Every structure is written in structure tokens, then in C-alpha cells.
Amino acid sequence: MKLLYKDTYKLEGLGAFASSIAPFTKDYKIWLFEGEMGAGKTTLIKKLCKVLKVTDTVTSPTFSLVNEYLTKENEIIYHFDFYRITKEEEALNIGVEEYFYSGNLCLIEWPSRIPSLIPAKHLKIFLNLGAESQRTAEIFVNEN
């Protein structure tokens, strides 16, 4: 994996951060979001979806595993949350491979629960908590 981008932001600057990383959606359709509970994965995804002009309400798919959103340009974005699964088979049962290879943007929270199912080419965002609502994000790419 290669470091592509690193930034530190406060929660009130999250919209600007989301705008700065949105152009990466052109080259990478699989985005992995890693970070401890409360690091801001879902919050960042909500802001990113706003920048990408999603017309639907963006919520965490914690229980449904996947949400589908539509943009103003009629593009589909899939949002996954695998926190609650215990076996990769559960992801396979919802047809995760069809989503991942659809060519649509896939935003994936807790990808560490399904390591062997992640496509080789992806972008991974590590979010780390800092002091006073500060976050550090490191963005890596895998081209294999």
C-alpha cells in the first residue's frame, strides 16, 4: 500500500476535508474506512455523500449491512457496515461481490471483517481520534 494523502482536520472542517478527497472517486471505486468506534467513519461518509450530491438520506447500514444512495447525476453509491457480521459468509449471502464489481462507488465501514472479499484495487482511509474533536486521516491506495 502506498500513502496517497494525509490530513488533520477538526469536525467543523469535515466538509472541506470531504471535498478534498472526493476527486479520488474517479480512480477508486472501493473505499475502505478504518478507525476505532467513534472515529467518525459514518460522519465522514455522510459529508462525502453530500459533496457527491447524494439525494437520499445517508444513514449507517449497521443492521441492513448495505444502503444504496442515488446522486443528482443518477449514479449509485453503496454504503456498507460490516461491524456486526461474524463470518465473511454473511457478506457473501447479501451478494457483496456483485456490489464490489458493479463499477459503482462502494464505501465500506469495518472492512477488516471481510478481508478476503476486498478487491485488490482500493483506497483505504484510516481515521484516528485526536484531542478536541480533531481527526487525522491517512489515505492509502492498493493497486494490486
* Residue 20 placed within a domain: no
Q: 4 lies in a domain?
A: no
Asked if residue 77 belongs to a domain, the reply is: yes
> Tens digits of per-residue pLDDT, 59-105?
999 889 999 999 999 999 999 999 999 999 999 999 999 999 999 99
Considering the entire predicted model, what is its pTM?
Answer: 0.95
- The CATH number linked to 120 is 3.40.50.300
Residue 95 located in a structural domain: yes
**Number of structural domains the chain divides into:** 1
Does residue 9 form part of some domain? no
Instruction: List, as one string, the DSSP characters of 70-134.
Output: EBTTS-EEEEEE-TT-SSHHHHHHTTHHHHHTSSSEEEEE-GGGSGGGS-SSEEEEEEEE-STTE
> For residue 113, what are the domain limits?
27-133
